[in-house]
Amino acid sequence: MPELPEVETVARLIRPRLVGRRITAASVAWKRSIGSQGVASFASAVVGARFESVERRAKYIVMSLGGRGALVGHLRMTGRMQVEAADWDPGKFAKVRLDLDDGSAFHFIDVRKFARLEFVRDPAQRLAGIGPEPLGPEFTADWLARQLRLRRRALKPLLLDQTFVAGLGNIYVDESLHRSGLHPLCSSDRVSAAQAALLQREIRAVLREAIEREGSSFDVFYRTPEGNPGSFQHQFRVYGRAGEPCRTCGTPIARSVVGQRGTHTCPTCQPRPRRARRKGASR
């Protein structure tokens, strides 16, 4: 599933092609792609509207249509967004098409039919409850240290929780934890202030590097709106590298399952936390 860097890449690349453009027609080939709204209602809501902005929030792309509302897209596993000439053929997996006033068309494409492109009147309400952006001003070292102490959860599942912090997924959590020397099963309330500061820095560094490389294409599905694969997968230190040597110490990377997610760690750089001794247990 595309994570923050991939979604940010898509938003950045379609933004200049959409902002200022007016929607002249809308067609829907797979009605579930637009959520529970009917096709006629969806078309009535968007036709005639003008794109005012294209932004990312967590793993969502929010395309403001001014006072009307917004289109909120989630790529899920195989969704793609492209803006092409009117005669461009999007193929058999095209789900939604929006014709634009400059002769181009916005295409929402999805192989596995899980992605969504919904019209909402109030995008803020639709996305309420999502945590702070890891590249935003709220995500400071002090904030992270304080919030980790307030919880008592395994570190990786907590970082994947979108109500705790926005946009992080399996790839970038594994990479950030390795760079920070923290094991995914470490209890959040046992992370020191210094460790939290390092983790905050590494999360930001990993995400920025991945955005610079237009995300990670570890399968055939994720491509940028220009049709190119991302290249951050060539920089992975642990993710998807089970059995290969750690780039830091040479120890073979181990694969395990944490919170029902495939997880990659270096047993040397990220020692597994010891179980806390139960109070009253015999020595």
- Which among 2, 5, 123, 225 is annotated as catalytic? 2
**CA distance linking residue 121 with residue 85, whole number of Å:** 29
Residue 9, helix vs strand vs coil: helix
**Element (DSSP H or E) covering residue 82:** strand 79-85
Active site residue 273: no
Buried b (16+ CB within 10 A) or exposed e, 183-194: bbbbbbeebeee
Q: Is beta strand 94-100 parallel, antiparallel or unpaired with respect to 104-110? A: antiparallel
Contact 73, 46 (CB under 8 A): no
CA distances (Å), origin 227, targets 81, 133, 211: 10, 27, 16
- Which among 3, 8, 118, 202 is annotated as catalytic? 3
Contact 225, 6 (CB under 8 A): no
- Which among 55, 255, 261, 273 is annotated as catalytic? 261
Active site residue 261: yes
Q: Print the SS3 string covering 15-73.
A: HHHHCCCEEEEEEECCHHHHCCCCHHHHHHHHCCCECCEEEEECCEEEEECHHHCEEEE
- Which among 56, 59, 95, 223 is annotated as catalytic? 59
Measured from the Cβ of residue 277, the count of other Cβ atoms closer than 10 Å reads 9
Active site residue 56: no
**CA distance linking residue 80 with residue 87, whole number of Å:** 18
Residues paired with residue 261 on neighbouring β-strands, in sequence order: 258
Residue positions annotated with a catalytic role: 2-3, 59, 261
